[in-house]
């Protein structure tokens, strides 16, 4: 039930590589905010920055008290999507 909810909740634009560790290992390290552990993805499968992934990374980093990840996601969000970030 939980897996169904997660898949239904995620946008269709989110990359499939984030679901399995084996597929995350194939992507370059710069696709992830936590490059060493390949966690907190912020780029799509084609390598483009994703606003949705950056927002999700910020929320998840805040949940787990990962201040460095939160700040990095915030900086990248402001750099790549400045017009959408100002509300």
* Structural domain harbouring 57: 2-85
Token pair in block for residue 79: 């750099």
Q: Which of 20, 62, 64, 58 minimizes the C-alpha distance to 38?
A: 20
**Does residue 19 register a pLDDT over 80?**
no
Question: pLDDT band for position 21 (50/70/90)?
Answer: confident
Instruction: Give the chain's domain count.
Output: 1
Q: What is the pLDDT of residues 31-74, one digit of tens each?
A: 999 999 999 999 988 899 999 999 999 999 999 999 999 999 99
**Does residue 78 register a pLDDT over 90?**
yes
pTM of the model: 0.76
d(CA 2, CA 80): 32
**Does residue 3 register a pLDDT over 50?**
no
> How confident is the model at residue 14, as a pLDDT?
63
């Amino acid at each position: 039930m939980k897996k169904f909810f997660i898949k239904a909740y995620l946008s269709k634009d989110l990359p499939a590589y984030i679901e399995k560790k084996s597929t995350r290992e194939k992507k370059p390290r710069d696709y992830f905010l936590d490059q060493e552990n390949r966690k907190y993805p912020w780029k799509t499968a084609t390598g483009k920055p994703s606003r949705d992934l950056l927002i999700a990374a910020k929320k998840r980093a805040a949940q787990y008290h990962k201040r460095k990840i939160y700040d990095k996601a915030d900086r990248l969000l402001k750099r790549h999507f400045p017009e959408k970030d100002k509300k």
